[in-house]
Amino acid sequence: MASSSSSGLTFKLHPLVIVNISDHYTRVKSQLNLPPSLTSTSSAATSNNNNNNSNGGENNQQKPPRVYGCVIGVQRGRTVEIFNSFELIYDPSTRSLDRSFLEKKQELYKKVFPHFYVLGWYSTGSDAQESDMHFHKALMDINESPLYVLLNPAINPAQKDLPVTIYESELHVIDGVPQLIFVRSSYTIETVEAERISVDHVAHLKPSGGSAATQLAAQLTGIHSAIKMLNSRIRVVHQYLVGMQKGDIPCESSLLRQVSSLLRRLPAIESEKFQDDFLMEYNDTLLITYLAMFTNCSSTMNELVDKFNTAYDRHSRRGGRTAFI
């Protein structure tokens, strides 16, 4: 495997791809971890003559699983931007890829994101393996030069860089034989505002029962404090002007000129465009609030109906009645 790529492409990786791969790996790993009761039962049922084989099987179960999927995005000139990813069904033992599932996923994403197309694939592991080239070649009918995003799930506290590597495939002549090999490519993290807020919130979330104090919450608290301070200062100016109007405070022309200059800026905010934009944002916020309330009510009603049907079904078995819904 060569040290670096010579294609000259610039790769931009969005955090959503890293989150998707990490979530895919975590789900698969948690599903493979059997309860201790099942493990002890299966080990007791194994004969003593196959102890060596069973030990080898346990070692295979302890080996971290590998997950596979596709990465999608856009390419503008020499810049490749990876926006999203989706999972694939692949059997490494038989090297069989579920083509129908891949085509269905690709078709669904095309309906929502017509400008996105398959850029390559992803997997997990510490380094690229020789068997990865078989999967890589299987996607060349979709993309003639797919990229390979590799996430290392092993936790290394001393590592400061992201455990993500992007590989390209290049044709090199080795011992007189042309071969495709993986070469490393540099990349940068590209984010939009929504991704920054979401990733920051997820990164700073604490376990259930603890407070979810994030930088977003701190920023909103700072904005609230600033607005509160502004309100108090405006009240002070208002009280000063009222006192000056009543004659309790002597008139100061320089201070009145400053207040007048400040007030002249306010009518600019009262334009018709500002009112339309403000009302639109306000109505959208109310609609989202109502939608969340309706969703919550529907969920509560569904839970109530399920509980009622469960209780009524038990009663109907004795009385011969039918369920409510």
Q: What is the pLDDT of residue 302?
A: 86
User: Which residues are 87's β-sheet partners?
Assistant: 69
Q: What is the pLDDT of residue 12?
A: 92
Q: What is the pLDDT of residue 64?
A: 78
Q: Over the stretch 167-220, which tens digit does the pLDDT of each residue have?
A: 988 888 778 788 888 888 889 988 877 777 777 766 665 555 445 455 667 777
Q: What are phi and psi of 155, to 5 degrees?
A: -85, 125
pLDDT over threshold 90, residue 240: no
Measured distance CA(106)–CA(101) in Å, rounded: 9
Q: How far is CA 54 from the centre of its chain?
A: 39
Q: What is the pLDDT of residue 34?
A: 46
Q: What is the pLDDT of residue 60?
A: 46
* Type of residue numbered 202: V
Stretch 12-22: mean pLDDT: 90
Nearest to 96 by CA among 68, 61, 117: 68
Burial of 69 (0-12, 13-18, 19+ CB in 10 A): buried
Q: What is the pLDDT of residue 290?
A: 87
Entry pTM: 0.55
**59's tokens:** 């070692």
Q: Over the stretch 133-152, which tens digit does the pLDDT of each residue have?
A: 888 888 888 888 899 999 99
Q: What is the pLDDT of residue 69?
A: 92
Stretch 90-118: mean pLDDT: 87
- Distance spanning both ends of the chain, measured CA to CA: 63
Q: Over the stretch 246-275, which tens digit does the pLDDT of each residue have?
A: 888 888 888 888 888 887 776 566 677 778
Q: Over the stretch 35-91, which tens digit does the pLDDT of each residue have?
A: 444 434 444 444 444 444 444 444 444 677 889 999 999 998 889 999 999 999 888
Nearest to 92 by CA among 139, 49, 47, 131: 131
